[in-house]
Amino acid sequence: MTCFNDVLLERRSASDRSGKGIGKGLMSKVAEVGKKKQCVRLHLTVLDWNTPARDFYAAKGAQDLTASKGLHILLFDGRDLDNLANEAPED
């Protein structure tokens, strides 16, 4: 999804909301490939201020789990991920 964000951000300015089906086509292709690989969910992250993107996903049927479930997105990386891995029990 980082890729999706970057591709579309470079294609157009923030003020251009005309839409040519590119976002829908990209999302539909991701869903098609995922379904073929037996995926049953597609998770996305979107920034709170990005109302156009949130509205776009909502129009396509996405559920906003932050609103409905109070879901927080958490990240382990760098040293924190190393520390977590180093604390793993022996197999």
Ligand X SMILES: CC(C)(COP(=O)(O)OP(=O)(O)OC[C@H]1O[C@@H](n2cnc3c(N)ncnc32)[C@H](O)[C@@H]1OP(=O)(O)O)[C@@H](O)C(=O)NCCC(=O)NCCS
Which residues contribute to the site for ligand X (CB under 6 A)?
A: 5, 8-9, 17, 19-24, 46, 50, 52-53, 55-56, 59
> In the complex with ligand X, which residue's Cβ is closer, 42 or 81?
42
Taking the complex as a whole, how short is the minimal distance between the CB of residue 78 and ligand X, in angstroms?
Answer: 23
Three-state SS letters, 3-54? HHHHHHHHHCCCCCCCCCCHHHHHHHHHHHHHHHCCCCCCCCCCCCCCHHHH
Q: Identify which of residues 48 and 87 has a Cβ nearer to ligand X in the complex.
A: 48
